[in-house]
């Protein structure tokens, strides 16, 4: 039986195939934008609020570069537009790849939905603010990891899900022949 026939049998169809993924994307974008709005409203730019002393702070920083602050210290004409354009191209490539995935590749599809949700969340910031709001500051032994946000966490979890899918840890292997 084909995936489409199974979907119809359960009361769905080809359009229901991406319902879960669309929900994940929307949820990530909504949570990301809500937390960034709260940080912008409550924490002054470059401010810090300790949550767990010497471990976790809420900060308000802006990333004008790419992932993990890459190109953050570099300034060139139309930097915000160039970074947003590159992010948009990457987002479109990921969306095209996701649309071609088989419906039985559930973990990979959820991983891509997390990546897409995070990419959209950060792209909204780039287009609206010219930079991305980062606010989670993890401190380990006095070393501060790069500040990040919900979108970055979703992208990281999405990549992890994709890696688990690629190496097959999510598949049950039968030991009987």
* Residue pLDDT, tens place only, 14-62: 555 668 889 999 999 999 999 999 999 999 999 999 999 999 999 999 9
pLDDT at site 166: 84
- Give yes or no for residue 10 having a pLDDT over 50: no
Mean predicted lDDT score pLDDT of the chain: 82
Candidate list 32, 125, 134, 137, residue with the active-site label: 134
pLDDT at site 9: 46
Tally helices (H) and strands (E) across the chain.
5, 4
- Give yes or no for residue 130 having a pLDDT over 70: yes
Phi, psi of 11 (to 5 degrees): 95, 5
Whether residue 160 contacts residue 115, with contact meaning beta carbons closer than 8 Å, is answered with no
**Confidence grade of residue 125 (pLDDT, cut at 50, 70, 90):** very high
- From the list 176, 76, 63, the residue with the least C-alpha distance to 125 is 63
- Known catalytic residue at 54: no
**CA 141, 146, 152, 155 torsion-angle sign:** negative
- Give yes or no for residue 3 having a pLDDT over 90: no
- Known catalytic residue at 134: yes
- Grouping H, G, I as helix, E, B as strand and the rest as coil, residue 76 is coil
The sheet with strand 132-140 has its strands ordered as 48-52, 56-63, 132-140, 143-144
């Amino acid at each position: 039986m084909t995936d489409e026939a199974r979907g119809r049998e359960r009361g769905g169809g080809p359009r229901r195939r991406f319902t879960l993924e669309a929900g994940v994307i929307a949820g990530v974008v909504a949570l990301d934008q809500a937390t960034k709005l709260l940080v912008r409203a409550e924490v002054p730019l470059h401010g810090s609020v300790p949550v767990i002393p010497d471990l976790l702070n809420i900060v308000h920083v802006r990333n004008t570069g790419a992932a993990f602050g890459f190109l953050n210290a570099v300034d060139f004409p139309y930097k915000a537009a160039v970074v947003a354009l590159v992010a948009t191209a990457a987002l479109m490539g990921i969306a095209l790849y996701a649309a071609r995935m088989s419906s039985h590749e559930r973990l990979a599809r959820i991983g891509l939905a997390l990546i897409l949700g995070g990419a959209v969340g950060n792209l909204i910031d780039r287009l609206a603010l010219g930079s991305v709001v980062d606010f989670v500051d993890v401190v380990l032994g006095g070393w501060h990891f790069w500040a990040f946000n919900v979108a970055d966490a979703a992208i990281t979890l999405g990549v992890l899900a994709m890696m688990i899918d690629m190496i097959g840890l999510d598949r049950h292997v039968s030991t009987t022949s």
